[in-house]
Amino acid sequence: MNLLFALVALPLLFMLASLVAGRHGPRLIWLAAPLMTGLAVWLAMAVHTAPEGGALGGWPVPLGIMLEADGLAAALMLASAITAAITGLFALGSYGTTRAETTRSYTFWPLFYGLWAAVNAVLVSRDLFNLYVAIELLSICAVALAAFGSRKAAMDYLMIALAGSLAYLLGVVLIFAAVGTLDLSLIAERAPEARTSVLIGAALISAGLIAKTALFPLHGWLPPAHGAAPPAVSALLSALVVKASFVILLRVWFEALPGLTQPAIITGFGVLGAAAILYGSALALRQEGLKALIAYSTVAQLGYLFLVFPLAGGGEAITPWAAGAWGAMGFHASAHMLAKAGLFLAAGLMIHASGNGRMDGLTGLARAMPVTTFAFALCAVSLMGLPPSGGFMAKYLMLISSLASGQWPYALVIIAGGLMAAAYLFRPLARMFAGTETPAITPLPHNWLPLAPLALAIAAMALGLLSAAPYELMVSGLPEAGEAGLEEVEP
């Protein structure tokens, strides 16, 4: 319990500290990165034996605030801690102490820690209003960080995020009026009594969260915002922010309303996810800007997450491979966090070095920046879903669950998505290897910067190679909806 509280509160403390510390603020990351990662590892190990949780201040629900970490929360918390820690260290290169003091180097760090706290809060909250507070903090930090890149894109993002929040809040109010509680497990008990109004509320909540997650067809704001931001910011936005709103969506449908999930809703999410995979990949194929390509890839990769709805089912639609599908979603979310952050960081270094963010600016960079290129390639392998990466384990489990539950069209989409990912990611890779000259590059601010994407890439690979423990963690303490399938996975 105290551990969960610490994981949420510590980043908030760091946020305040970074404001107070002034120009020494950036150095706090040297403390925050190992501390937060260590706590997340501790949490993962604790949850492995029993779910962690309890009510804040000892007040029971509905008076107190519940914090609770299941296996998925612990796994995603660890993945996001690694991602945020490495991205934070990387950001020292841009917003660190060596540069002249600027508004940005002051504002980056509080926003960074605020975002981290919000992500952790989303992962452990079990209460619709808490979740609202967390996602609002997250959106504000994310929009402000996105404004480091393009103000216009950030404005669009703000509009979408606000509209999403309104829809969410409205849905929460409706549900509260109908069942008189905001706690997820209590809603699950009482929802059947007020089916219709709860469903309307859930629909509004879902619409708001879909907009924030940038699921097709509400993805339009994402590529400009993620593509234009500085590398460290893009990495945080693509890796962490969009995952958080997705996790709330999972909590709402799988934990609060397992009895209400109907085939139409499940299929709806599945179809939107599949459309996102195909449409996002097709657009990624056509991008000439490196970061735009990676941003469209995020649109496509987010689609895979939504396949958990049809593949795991829920309520009466529970599939025999539900646990496998649940694990696949966890793997995909974690692997995408690590690999996408790594890809953005590597791309940022390449763009800095070549001074050109377009595809042709990459020519020959494999010779000038071998480590960065290698990191880029490893991250790309994970995104393509090729072994031995975490992305592969995710795709493999998804494919198995879609075929085992007789939903082969999803399998076709997953395979097509993998091939398209290979096609759009090999375009930049081929440019990096092309040519015979070694291009002259602008020196990087620090020579160790390429190690950040490399570390993320290696983490994404390790997730695939050592997949047994993460898998067990992700499916431990499954929401009731998924539990029935757990037996089937064990041969």
Nearer of residues 120 and 467 to another protein, judged by Cβ = 467
Q: Which of 166, 316, 430, 448 binds another protein (CB under 8 A)?
A: 430
CA-to-CA separations, 336 to 235, 297, 332, 389, 461, in angstroms, rounded: 11, 10, 6, 10, 11
Examine residue 370 and tell whether it contacts another protein (CB under 8 A): yes
Residue found under tokens 């504002």? 107
Q: Which stretch binds another protein (CB under 8 A): 164-172, 197-205, 209-217, 431-439?
A: 431-439
Q: How far is the CB of 469 from another protein (least distance, A)?
A: 9
Q: Which of 95, 253, 296, 392 binds another protein (CB under 8 A)?
A: 392
* Helix spans in 385-407 (H): 390-404
Q: Binding to another protein (CB under 8 A): which residues in 396-425?
A: 396-397, 399-400, 403-404, 411, 415, 418-419, 422
Q: Collect all residues with Cβ–Cβ distance below 8 Å to 443 and sequence separation of at least 6.
A: 353
Backbone angles phi, psi at 379, to 5 degrees: -60, -40
**Residue 70 class from Cβ within 10 Å (0-12 exposed, 13-18 middle, 19+ buried)?**
buried
Examine residue 393 and tell whether it contacts another protein (CB under 8 A): yes
Nearer of residues 223 and 330 to another protein, judged by Cβ = 330
DSSP 68: E
Q: How far is the CB of 404 from another protein (least distance, A)?
A: 4
Helix (H) or strand (E) holding 201: helix 195-213
Residues 68, 407: Cα–Cα separation, whole Å: 33
Task: Number of residues interacting with another protein: please give it, by CB under 8 A.
Answer: 41
Examine residue 381 and tell whether it contacts another protein (CB under 8 A): yes
Nearer of residues 160 and 384 to another protein, judged by Cβ = 384
Examine residue 491 and tell whether it contacts another protein (CB under 8 A): yes
Q: Which of 27, 367, 451, 458 binds another protein (CB under 8 A)?
A: 367
Within 10 A of 267 (CB to CB), how many other CB atoms are there?
A: 14
CA-to-CA separations, 341 to 237, 361, 411, in angstroms, rounded: 9, 21, 26
Q: Which of 51, 387, 439, 445 binds another protein (CB under 8 A)?
A: 387
Q: Which of 16, 159, 173, 434 binds another protein (CB under 8 A)?
A: 434
Examine residue 467 and tell whether it contacts another protein (CB under 8 A): yes
Q: Which of 22, 63, 100, 490 binds another protein (CB under 8 A)?
A: 490
Q: Which of 194, 271, 282, 386 binds another protein (CB under 8 A)?
A: 386
Residues 356, 412: Cα–Cα separation, whole Å: 36
Q: Which stretch binds another protein (CB under 8 A): 101-109, 224-232, 280-288, 367-375?
A: 367-375
Could you give the string, one character per residue 302-341, with x where binding to another protein holds by CB under 8 A and - elsewhere?
----------------------x--x--------------
Backbone angles phi, psi at 263, to 5 degrees: -50, -40
Residue 388 DSSP SS3: coil
Q: How far is the CB of 416 from another protein (least distance, A)?
A: 8
Examine residue 440 and tell whether it contacts another protein (CB under 8 A): no
Name the nearest CA neighbour of 303 among 327, 331, 326, 332: 332
Examine residue 435 and tell whether it contacts another protein (CB under 8 A): yes
| Per-residue tokens: 101 | 């003091």
**Residue 55 class from Cβ within 10 Å (0-12 exposed, 13-18 middle, 19+ buried)?**
middle
Binding interface with another protein (CB under 8 A): 324, 327, 364, 366-367, 370, 374, 377, 381, 386-388, 392-393, 396-397, 399-400, 403-404, 411, 415, 418-419, 422, 426, 430, 433-436, 438, 465-468, 471-472, 489-491
